Amino acid sequence: MTFDSQAYTVQLEEKVSRLRDLLAPFDAPEPAVFDSPLKNFRLRAEFRLWREAGERHYAMFSQDDKRTPILIEAFPIASLRINELMPKLKAAWQASAALSHKLFQVEFLTTLAGDAMITLCYHRPLDEHWHAAATKLAADLNVSVIGRSKGKREVIGHDYVVEKLEVGGRTFSYRQPEGAFTQPNGTVNQKMLNWAYDALGDRPDDLLELYCGNGNFTLPLATRVRKVLATEISKTSVNAALSNLSENAVDNVTLVRLSAEELTEALNEVRPFRRLHGIDLKSYEFGSVFVDPPRAGMDPDTCELTRRFDNILYISCNPETLAANIAQLHDTHRITQCAMFDQFPWTHHMESGVLLTRR
């Protein structure tokens, strides 16, 4: 793969043009554009292992052909740390039957701060020989190692990495658990966080956040408002978010494990939820809502819920569903800011953000 800056510029402009066209019916302002490094931007990578000539190789498969492996020695779009670890890990499994026996998949998770974790997946139970070899591997490579076999998980070191991101002049520390969602492009993620921080601005009232994940946006946005009610359905992400709030001494956030649909029912007083016991929803003075939904966007009821707020700050990984949601809200809210974040260079995917304010 070549990393031609001119080809990247053309591709980036195509994405900006696509977003511009999708938002044109809503009189959107010109989007701010946040580019990506051309290579070494991806902080996580997953490889199948493929046996050839009696040796295991890193392998990937194209979308069109799941049977023919593409053997890989290096992965230029992945972080420098992943590329540094790949040959060292390969040499380790080649030298150790305990590490290589029935090993079929390898996952790397790294951070801009330099932390790293390797997950090794096996078609066999893990024994004391594996544990001894993996412990030495973790020490030699200065990483955490996770071993996974059917229904079992062995952790050597930590089952998370720690990221540090600077937003609004403050450094936030993030615990990112193994197996949980994290933004793959750390450099662009930091740009997204700063854009959202600036777009929200300092406010005297409260923020509702839906789909908060591990608290990626929650931490910096909480410093802009009086208090935050945040929701997330994934138990792993909720635990990571609680840890991150504590680690960063952010004490004005209440986090509840509810889906966006359930919170809508709670705010509409359709039915009570035990998980909201002790939380007085009427004590909040919500002026803004922040949403970062999955690719499908917000369902119609959640979209209607956001209409109640003067400001809707929306981060999207799918510009088509973003446009569909804005169409539902356009009669009461207008786009006052928008942005395109090139989270996934060399693909057609993009992240985008809009600030909608009440007309």
Q: Annotation-wise, does 216 bind a ligand?
A: yes
Q: Where are the beta strands (DSSP E) in 53-101?
A: 55-62, 65-72
What Cα–Cα distance (Å) separates residue 78 from each residue in 4, 35, 50, 341?
A: 17, 16, 20, 18
């193994």: which residue's tokens?
Answer: 178
Q: Name the strand (E) or helix (H) holding 88.
A: helix 80-94
CB hemisphere CA count around 168 (13 angstroms): 17
**What does the block give as tokens for 28?**
């959107």
* Residue 311, marked binder: no
Q: Is the dihedral of CA 107, 112, 113, 114 positive or negative?
A: positive
Cα separation of 271 and 262, whole Å?
9
Q: Is 183 annotated as a binding residue?
A: yes
Residue carrying structure tokens 């020989």: 129
Residue 316 CB burial class (10 angstroms; 0-12, 13-18, ≥19):
buried
317 is an active site residue: yes
The SS3 assignment for 142 reads: coil
Of these residues, 121, 212, 317, 338, which one is catalytic? Answer: 317
Residue ranges with strand state E in 178-252: 206-210, 228-231
Residue 45 one-letter amino acid: A
Positions at the binding site for S-adenosyl-L-methionine: 183, 211, 216, 232, 292
Positions at the binding site: 183, 211, 216, 232, 292
- Catalytic positions, please? 317, 351
